[in-house]
Structure 1
Amino acid sequence: MSIMDIYENSAGRERIAPGPYLKRHQDVGETALISAQNLSKRYGNSSDIFSNLNVQISSGETVALIGSNGAGKSTLLKCLIGLLPHSAGSVSVFDETFTSAPNAAQARKIRSEIGFVFQKHCLVSRATALTNVVHGLLGRQGSWRGWHQMIATTSWRNQALEALDSVNLIHKANERVDQLSGGQAQRVAIARALVRKPKLFIADEPAASLDPKSGHDVMQRFVDLAKANNITLMFTSHNMQHALQYADRIIALKAGHILLDQKSDDLTAQDLKVVFDG
């Protein structure tokens, strides 16, 4: 059965176990996706938000970046992928190395390999779920067709439907996202990131605006999709349970430095309390 057959016959039904989304190609010998040396960030003449950080993210890892409000989690995440310029040190992402900030060509290459998911879903509320997922293909050649599913190519539309099927929402393809629950809307955002077939998922507090059950459902699906498709995942969180349950590794920031960087299997909730104390 084709994806179009599933789509056309899915009204009112939710598939329990959708097949995994098409796997992206994984280059032989691919290891470190991100490497940062002596990384520092400050704004103007203020004190450092963080300083002299050394971070390496390997291909296929799921990494939780935790810390209290103001610890610099989101800032570090953005510096590691060149969305914010850093003040000192160097960063290498997908073999593109830069100091301060990537040049225009590097930035285009880096961003083309990343799927983004944010706490606020950043969806077009009056557009359908399918159109929002097609938006994930904006920036590709012929990307004007990505503004709406009705003008998208058949290939793009099918890719978007496959992505929605992977998050178990193909039956909601033609519904406006402002009619969806918070958890469903976040799953649409994940599908929009997935349709890009990225090497890296970046998620900034992806479950923070959701109730506990929806938050766990979204995180489980997010991690499962990343593993099934060989996508490295980095997410920020205040939720220690999410960090322990869904990440392979936890990096904790405190007072501008890395307080711990360990496998989640070696940590407990009690170990992580020190990150938020004081």
Structure 2
Amino acid sequence: MLVIEQLSKVFGDLTAVDSVSLAIPKGQMVGVIGRSGAGKSTFLRMINRLADPSRGTILNEGQNITALKGRDLRLWRASCAMIFQQFNLVERMDVLTNVMVGRIAHTGFLRSMTRSFTDEDRARAIEALDRLDLVPQALQRAGTLSGGQQQRVAIAKALVQNPRIMLADEPIASLDPANASRVMDALREINRTDGLTVLVNLHTLDTARAYCDRIIAMKDGRVQFDGTPDTLTSERVRQIYGTDDLSGDINEAVTSTSLSTTTSRPPMKAVGA
């Protein structure tokens, strides 16, 4: 159980996240929606401790995450993997090495920087790439891949961290519908097959409804809605945002056609299984 109590983040005169309190059970897939500037990215960054809260606490299985320092903080960031909109890969480095760098919390900084990876590290990386249909690209430079492929490499990199929680900050915002669908399929399969808790920031309501067990709607740093997709009606969305369509904010969309093409794919095997 991830428990967030009165979490706030203040930047000068701006309150980016304002007194958010949530309890997220293990294994739930949660979509966090809202317009640009709603506080979604700051919220996820505080959970990962890439940003320190101004107020409030984050508890995971009884551990006070907001109090962690040093090695304990590094281990938390490894167990709470973060996937970014812009992939965060080293483009001149091959795909396999990019994924193995995800083992840094387990191998140590020096070994990762000198690329002194073990056979176990390589095996884990290849297994993660296999889950995401990327083994043929393992020795290809990351910068030569398409955006959708790079985002799936980023997911593989997160998987080898052996996380308990996976955070994805607008992972499909810069992707076309077909690639967006493949990335969301991957996140959902990881959630279901591995039992990982997944929190994903999204702008598109249809995407959140199609993939998530629970939707949290934010506006001006506050939670305006917290419930199941079927209870987030168009009328409720209009009450929160003044419109029933948020997709105009960004070029993010998953079409019904692309969604329907993914249902026949076999489930992925869990890494290490």
1:108 aligns to what? 74
CA distance in 1: counterparts of 2:236 and 2:179, whole angstroms:
26
Q: Is 2:95 aligned against 1:129?
A: yes
1:248 aligns to what? 213
1:206–1:59 Cα change, 3 Å: same
Aligned 8 A contact 1:71 1:255 in 2: yes
Q: Is 2:119 aligned against 1:119?
A: no
Aligned 8 A contact 2:217 2:226 in 1: yes
Aligned 8 A contact 1:64 1:250 in 2: yes
Aligned 8 A contact 2:29 2:213 in 1: yes
1:175 aligns to what? 140
- 1:73 aligned partner, one-letter code: K
2:59 aligns to what? 92
- 2:77 aligned partner, one-letter code: R
3-state secondary structure, aligned to 1:140: helix
RMSD (Å) for aligned C-alpha atoms:
2.0
Q: Is 2:197 aligned against 1:229?
A: no
For each residue in 1:101-157, what CA deviation from the matched residue of structure 2 results, as whole angstroms up to 9, or x when unmatched?
Answer: 5333442231121222110011111111111111100121355333476x4211111
Q: Is 2:36 aligned against 1:69?
A: yes
Cα distance, 1:80 vs structure 2 = 2.6
Aligned 8 A contact 1:133 1:195 in 2: yes
Aligned 8 A contact 1:121 1:186 in 2: yes
Aligned 8 A contact 2:58 2:65 in 1: yes
3-state secondary structure, aligned to 2:56: strand
Q: In the TM superposition, what are the counterparts of 1:1-278 in structure 2 within 5 Å?
A: 32=1, 34-44=2-12, 46-97=13-64, 102-147=68-113, 151-268=116-233, 271-277=236-242
Aligned 8 A contact 1:50 1:255 in 2: yes
Between Structure 1 and Structure 2, the one with more helix by share is 2
1:14 aligns to what? none
For each residue in 1:150-180, what CA deviation from the matched residue of structure 2 results, as whole angstroms up to 9, or x when unmatched?
Answer: x421111111000000101111111111111
Structure 1 alignment gaps of length 5 or more = 1-31
Aligned 8 A contact 2:101 2:112 in 1: yes
For each residue in 1:182-225, what CA deviation from the matched residue of structure 2 results, as whole angstroms up to 9, or x when unmatched?
Answer: 11111111000011111010110000010111101111112112
1:98–1:114 Cα change, 3 Å: closer
Moved more, 263-272 or 181-190: 263-272
CA distance in 1: counterparts of 2:65 and 2:189, whole angstroms:
32
Aligned 8 A contact 1:248 1:265 in 2: no
Identity of aligned residues (%): 35
Aligned 8 A contact 1:49 1:71 in 2: yes
Aligned 8 A contact 1:114 1:202 in 2: yes
CA distance in 1: counterparts of 2:240 and 2:129, whole angstroms:
37
CA distance in 2: counterparts of 1:119 and 1:128, whole angstroms:
20
CA distance in 2: counterparts of 1:173 and 1:105, whole angstroms:
30
CA distance in 1: counterparts of 2:38 and 2:164, whole angstroms:
27
CA distance in 2: counterparts of 1:275 and 1:177, whole angstroms:
40
CA distance in 1: counterparts of 2:71 and 2:88, whole angstroms:
25
